[in-house]
Amino acid sequence: MPSNPLKLATLLLLVGTLGIAACNPLTESAGRPTRIVLAMGRLLAAQQAGDFLSVVDTARLTVTGGNGPRSQSLLVGPGESEAAFDVTVPSGSVRFTADVLSNSGVPVYRGDTTMTINGDFTLDLNVHPVNPVMVVSPGHVTFIITDNGQFRTVAATLRVRNPGVGTLMWRVDSTVARPAGVSFSCGVLPGEDDNCKTTLPWTAGRDAAIILRFGMPSSFSFLPSSLRFLSNVGSITFTP
């Protein structure tokens, strides 16, 4: 579990001003168009190393000054490493709030700081998990097929991790489309005592392997077209 806040000195960077020279003074009524980049790659690397999928979906930046809050949200795709916000930063006391939301709209990471703006500035912000987070790895499912001439098993091993805070409640969607005569099971390794087709509690920091199995007669040739993981903070869909 990432119990220590992640330094957003590396996550949020002021990379330049747009349209106004840096030496121009700010007034109470004026603002400076500014591009602020949220480096999602570093945040996602804190969730899981390597190839993975997570419920992280949207980054939102809110700038609150004398004229009230102004927010901008950007979708963050699985392959995107950053989110660039073009915002107007007023002078005076300004609060910056960064929220990272799941694909069901649940805030999973958050950070905020207040600073006085009277010219060029460097934004230094701490972001930390505020809810459970579901991460499944690897991000691409590899099925192993075994066949004894009468019965065929198609199986894949994945890992489910909760790098957030609080308890993740999750399960594999048991309604995965399959022909009649094809069985489906999901168990938590090593003993497969827990059935992950039913909702399971995953405490903060838990990281464990699961195995998905499809059984069928040898005359069948079947691979699932999609697999869905459901949770109290969002969902993940694999398309093998």
Are 63 and 142 found together in one domain? no
Residue 17 DSSP SS3: strand
The first and second tokens of residue 123, run together, are 């934004």
Residue 123 DSSP SS3: coil
Would 162 be classed as within a structural domain?
yes
Are 68 and 161 found together in one domain? no
| 109-168 pLDDT tens trace | 898 889 898 887 777 777 788 999 999 999 888 999 999 999 999 999 999 999 999 999
Q: What is the pTM of this model?
A: 0.80
- CATH at residue 162: 2.60.40
How far apart are alpha carbons 207 and 141 in whole angstroms? 18
The first and second tokens of residue 218, run together, are 């040898």
Instruction: Determine the straight-line distance between the first and last CA of the chain, rounded to whole angstroms.
Output: 29
Q: CA–CA distance from 75 to each of 45, 87, 127 (Å)?
A: 18, 16, 18
| 8-44 pLDDT tens trace | 333 443 333 222 222 233 333 456 788 887 766 566 5
Are 11 and 123 found together in one domain? yes
Would 161 be classed as within a structural domain?
yes
How far apart are alpha carbons 74 and 40 in whole angstroms? 11
How far apart are alpha carbons 36 and 52 in whole angstroms? 26
- Residue ending a domain, among 129, 153, 176, is 129
- Residue span of the structural domain in which 33 resides: 6-129
Are 22 and 91 found together in one domain? yes
